[in-house]
Structure 1
Amino acid sequence: MQMPATLRDPCTLPRAAAPLMQQSLTEVREQLASLVENGLLLASERDRDKLLRHILMAGKRICNADAATLYLKTEGGGLRFALRSRSDHLPSVEIPLIDPHTGRPDERHVCTNVALNNKSVFIDDVYTESRFDLSGTRHFDLETGYRTVSMLAVPMAPRGGEVIGVLQFINATDRQSGQVVAFSRQDTSFVEALAAQAAVALENHHLMAAQNELIDAMVRILAGAIDAKSAHTGGHCERVPQLAMMLAEEACGVDSGPLADFRFASADEWREFRIGAWLHDCGKITTPEHIVEKATKLEVIHNRIHEVRLRFEILRRDAEIARLQARLDGVDAAVADAAFAASVRELEDDFAFVAGCNIGGETLAASAVERLHAIAGRTWLRHFDDRLGLSNEELSRVSLLPPAPLPAQERLLADKPHHLIPRPASPGLDPAYGFRMKVPEHLYNQGELYNLCVSRGTLTAEDRYKINEHIMQTIVMLEQLPLPKNLRRVPEYAGTHHETLSGSGYPRGLGQEDLSVPARIMAIADIFEALTACDRPYKKAKTLSESIAILAHLKQIGHIDPDLFDLFLSTGLYRRYGERYLKPEQMDDVDVAAFIGNTGKRA
C-alpha cells in the first residue's frame, strides 16, 4: 500500500518536493508535541474558566483557525455559548437540540448536528453549503464586513461517552500564504484528539466540582444539624465561619508587620479554612442537649426543683398533721398554731433559698453551701418503693444496694450512689491524640446537694468536661476521615479554637509556637460570637463594648493574638459583623483607640 504523500520519507521524493515534505513533517511534529503538552495542561488545570480558554485556544492554534467558539451542553438539553476567541460578549440564547414544535432532533445547525451525531462536520465554503442553516453566519458577515469561508465543528465527548460540548472553528489559514483555506483532514485529526482530551478533562472537572459541592453541602448540613439540636445555640456554626472568613480576608490584605507574610495562596486553601470553620463544633453532635441547655443546677432532662418542692410540701403537710394531732392531745390551740406557723415560715424560707441556689449565679458563698448542707439534713418518710418503674439502666445502678425497708427515712436533699453515672470507654481518652484535659472520674454526678453547691453557673465539673469534650470529639471525628491532600489542615483549623497562646487552653494545651494564624483567627471568631450571641439561655448577650473589653483582657493575658485583635478593631470588622448579626441595643460605641496597641503578649 502506498504511503500518503504527506508522510513519505523526504529522501525518496523529488528534490523540489523534499522541502515541502520536510515542512509538513515539522508541522506534524509540532502538532503532536502541542497535543501532548495540552494533555498535560488539561490534566493539571483546576480553574474552569482557564480550562475552557485553554481548550479553545489550543484547538484554534492546532488547526490555525482565525476564530473559534466553544459550546457546552446544558442540563436542559441544549447548547449554550461558553467562550469565543474574538469576543467576551456571549449570546445568552440557548440552542435547543430538540425542536420544541416537532419534538424531533434539530439538526439544522452545525453545532446541534455535531452534538446529536457525535461526528465532526467540515464546511469548505459557507456560501455554497446547503446542508445546514447558516443564515446567522451570513448575517454576521453582512453586519461586520467579515468573510466566513471554511468551518470545522468537532464534538467533545469522552471515549464512548455522551457529547458534552462542541468546538467550532472558522476560516483555516494557510501557514505559508496566509490565505483562507479549507480545514485539512490532518489538522482535524489532531483537533479531534484535543477535543477528546478536553472532554475527559472537563468531565473530570465536573465530577470534582460535583464532589466538592457535595462535601460542602454535607458540611453545611452537619453544621446546621448541630445548631438545630438546640434552639438556644442555633446559628453559632453559621456565624463563626462568616466572622472567621471576614477576619482572614482582612489578614490576607496586611502588607506590613507580623501578619505581612500570611496569605491563603489558592482557592483550595480558602476552601480548606472555610470547611474547618464550618466543622469547628462538629463534635457537639455527641453532646446531650440537656447539658448544652442546662439552665439550672438541678436540671437533667427536666428541672428537679419540682421534686424538691414536693418534699417541702410533704414536710409542710407533716407539720399541719402535727398541729392537728397536738390539738387532739389537748395542747392549747394558740401554742399549736404558733408552732405550725413557725414551721411553715422556716420551710418556705428554706425552699426559697434552695430554689435561689438552683439558679446559677456568679458565685455561691461558703455560708450558702453550709446552709444547703444543714437543710439537706432534714428528713421525710417515703412509703412507696422507689425501684418501681425504673429502666434497666437505672435498676443496674441501684442493684448493688439493698432496698430500704418501708417506710424509709429520706434526706431532704440527697447525693445517692445511683446519682453517679460511670464513664464509658471513649476514643478521646486514647493518649495518642495528646489531649491534656483533666478527666472527671464519672460521666455525670447528678447528686442534688453536689449540683446545688456548684459555685459558679450551673455546670458541675462533669458537665463542663462533657461540653468541652466536644472539641476532642471534633478532632477524633475529623482525624479519622481520609481527607484529600488539599483538606489535610481541616482538623487543625476546626480543633484549635479553644487553645490559647499562653498554653492554658484545651484540649492539647498548645502554645503560640503551635498555633497557626488561621487557628488564631478561629479563636477570636468563636469567642466574639459566643459573647455577642443573643440566643443563649444561661447568659445575657453582651454589647459590642463589653465584648471588646473582654477580648482586650484576653489579649492582655496572652490568650488571643494581639495583632489579629488590633486588626479586628482597626478595620471596623467588629462593627460590620455586629450590623449583620447583633440586635440594635447591642450596637453601642467602642473606644477603639483605648484597646489598640502593643499591650498584649506578642507571638
Structure 2
Amino acid sequence: MDNLRRELFFENILNNISDGLLAIDLDGTVFFVNPSAERIMGIPSSLVIGTSISTLMMENSENDEFFQCILDAVYEKRTVDTIISFSFHGRELRLHVVTALLSDGEETIGIIVTFYDLTALVSMNEKNSRLNKALAQSLDRFIQVMIGAIEARTPYNANHTKSMVMYAKKYLDWLEENGDSRVRKIRTPFIASVWLHDIGKLVIPKSVMDKARRLGSHEKDVMHRIELAIMCERLRMANDPSTKRSATRKIKQLEDASEIIMAANIVGYLNDEMSDKIEKISKMKVLTPAGEKVKLLDKYEKDSLLIRRGTLTAEEREIIQSHVIHTKEMLDQMDFSEIYGEVSTWAGNHHEFLDGSGYPNGLKGDEISWECRLLTIIDIYDSITADDRPYKPAMPPEKAFDILRSMCREGKLDLDITESFYESMAWDREKNEYFDDITFQQIEEDED
C-alpha cells in the first residue's frame, strides 16, 4: 500500500469511528477534529480547529470540567482516563474521556483525546441500581412481615431472632475492625440469614413450640381428672358409709399424686426417685362420674411426665427439629440469587454440628461453612442465656460459654469462632450498642 492510500485509509478510519477524537498541539491548539467529536460536543469543526482549548473553555463555560481535563493532559503531558459530565443543549451527558501522548518516535508533539457518550449506559446502570435497591427493600419488607408473623405466634422466638441479629452485627463489626476482609462481602446476606433462620417455625404447632411444661395443654385435663376422681370418691363415701376408709385412702392417694405430678411437670431435671413415683401413678385407676374406672394418666401424659430434661417428647422434638427443613424449603422458594445466594443454606443448616450429630442432614466438618458455624454458635448462646423462655431459666454468659466450649471439645462446634466471639464481647448486651434499640431494624445495605 503506497503512502497516499495509507493516509486515505487512516483518515477514513478517524472520520468514521463513533468515538469523538481531537488532536492537540502542546501549546493547546486543536489541529484535528473528527465528525463524531463535532456531534458529541455540538461545536462545528470550523470553530474548533486552530482554536486553543483555553479559548474553547471560555466560550463554553458550562463544560469547564471537560476542557480542564484536556488542558491538564496537555500541559502536564500525562494520560487521563475518566468519566465526566458534559452539558449538551440542556441535557447532561456522561462522557468517558481518554487521552494519550502523541509522538513522532523521538519526542512528544501533542495529545490525542478520545471520548464517547456513556449517558445511556450510565442511565441503565442507575436504573438497575434503583431496581436493586427496590428489590432489597422488598426483601426487607418480606422479612418484617415474616418476623412479625412469628412474633404474633410466639413473642419469645421473635426476641430470640432480634437478639441474634444484634450479636451478629456487633461481632461482624469487631471482625471488620480487626482486618477480616470477608465481612464486607457477606455482612448483608449473613444478617438476612439470621433474621430468617427460624422462619420455618411458622408451620410448627404452637402447642409444641410454646410448650413450657411437660404436660403442656394436657395439664388441665389431668388436674380436672383428679378433681373429678376426688369428687366421685366423696360421693361414693356419702352414698355408702362403709366405703369411708377406702374412699378416704383413695382421696389421699389422689391428692399426693396431684402434688407429684405438678412437681414433675415443672422440674428442670427428673431424677430416678420422681421417675419411679410417676411410673406408679401411671398405673392408678380412678372413678369417672359415669361410674367407670380409667387410668389416671394416658400414654402421652405418662411419657411427657417421664421426660428427663426439657418439656418435649421424642415425637415433639422431631416436630420442632423439622423447622429447619421448613426454613430451607420456604427460603428456596424465594429463589435467592446474587449476594443472597447462600441465605437459605446458611439459615437451613444452623443446627448442623461438626461431628455429624446435628440435623437435618448430619453434615460434618468442611461440609459446614464458616457462616453456618457462626450462626449455630450465636443461636445456642442466645437460646441458653435468654430470660424470656417459658420452659427454662436464663443462664449467665460465663456458664453459657462453658457449655459452648464443652461442645467444642466434643467436636460439635468450632472452637476458633467460639473464642473469637467471646473475645469480641458482642455477646455482652451492656457493651453492645445495637441493644440500645431492640426494635426491628432493617437489613443494612452495603455502602457501595
Tell me whether the two structures share a fold, i.e. TM-score over 0.5. Answer: yes
* 1:164-175 paired onto structure 2 within 5 Å: 172=67
Q: Secondary structure, in 3 states, of the residue corresponding to 1:574?
A: coil
> 2:281–2:296: 8 Å Cα contact kept in structure 1?
no
> 1:230–1:293: 8 Å Cα contact kept in structure 2?
yes
> 2:210–2:390: 8 Å Cα contact kept in structure 1?
yes
- Does 1:570 pair with 2:423? yes
> 2:425–2:431: 8 Å Cα contact kept in structure 1?
no
Deviation at 1:316, TM superposition (A): 2.1
Aligned partners of 1:461, 1:521: CA distance in 2, in Å?
A: 27
Identity, in percent, stands at 23
Superposition RMSD in Å: 4.2
Q: Which residue number corresponds to residue 349 of structure 2?
A: 496
Gaps of 5+ in 1: 1-9, 35-61, 65-119, 125-146, 153-167, 256-261, 384-406, 416-446, 584-603
Q: Which one of 380, 385, 390 corresponds to residue 532 of structure 1?
A: 385
* 1:514-533 paired onto structure 2 within 5 Å: 514-533=367-386
Deviation at 1:31, TM superposition (A): 2.7
Aligned partners of 2:177, 2:87: CA distance in 1, in Å?
A: 50
> 1:250–1:567: 8 Å Cα contact kept in structure 2?
no
Aligned partners of 1:449, 1:237: CA distance in 2, in Å?
A: 33
Cα distance per residue 1:315-369 (max 9 Å; x no partner)? 3223323333344xxx6xxxx7665544432221121112222224212426634
Aligned partners of 2:141, 2:430: CA distance in 1, in Å?
A: 24
Gaps of 5+ in 2: 23-35, 45-56, 76-85, 96-115, 437-448
Aligned partners of 2:68, 2:149: CA distance in 1, in Å?
A: 60
Q: Which residue number corresponds to residue 222 of structure 2?
A: 308
* 1:122-521 paired onto structure 2 within 5 Å: 149-151=59-61, 172=67, 193-252=117-176, 263-264=181-182, 267=185, 269-299=186-216, 303-327=217-241, 340-365=247-272, 368-369=275-276, 371-383=278-290, 408-415=292-299, 447-521=300-374
Cα distance per residue 1:194-246 (max 9 Å; x no partner)? 32332222112211221122123312332332233202323222222332233
Aligned partners of 1:222, 1:238: CA distance in 2, in Å?
A: 13
Deviation at 1:467, TM superposition (A): 0.8
Q: Secondary structure, in 3 states, of the residue corresponding to 1:234?
A: helix
Aligned partners of 1:320, 1:485: CA distance in 2, in Å?
A: 72
Change (3 A) 1:476 1:27: same
Aligned partners of 1:304, 1:293: CA distance in 2, in Å?
A: 13
Aligned partners of 1:568, 1:174: CA distance in 2, in Å?
A: 50
Aligned partners of 2:19, 2:411: CA distance in 1, in Å?
A: 62
Deviation at 1:174, TM superposition (A): 11
> 1:503–1:509: 8 Å Cα contact kept in structure 2?
yes
Counterpart of 1:350, as a letter, is A
Deviates more, 1:477-486 or 1:363-372: 363-372
Aligned partners of 1:522, 1:309: CA distance in 2, in Å?
A: 41
Higher-RCO chain (CA-CA 8 Å, sequence separation at least 6): 2
TM (normalized to structure 1)? 0.54
Q: Secondary structure, in 3 states, of the residue corresponding to 2:413?
A: coil
Change (3 A) 1:337 1:558: same
Counterpart of 1:468, as a letter, is Q
Cα distance per residue 1:151-207 (max 9 Å; x no partner)? 45xxxxxxxxxxxxxxx766747969989xx9899x999959432332222112211
Q: Secondary structure, in 3 states, of the residue corresponding to 2:156?
A: coil
Higher normalized helix content (fraction of residues): 2
TM (normalized to structure 2)? 0.70
Deviation at 1:536, TM superposition (A): 0.8
Aligned partners of 1:265, 1:148: CA distance in 2, in Å?
A: 49
How many residue pairs match? The answer is 375
Deviation at 1:581, TM superposition (A): 7.8
Deviation at 1:471, TM superposition (A): 0.9
Counterpart of 1:264, as a letter, is R
> 1:282–1:474: 8 Å Cα contact kept in structure 2?
yes
Aligned partners of 1:549, 1:485: CA distance in 2, in Å?
A: 38
Counterpart of 1:286, as a letter, is V
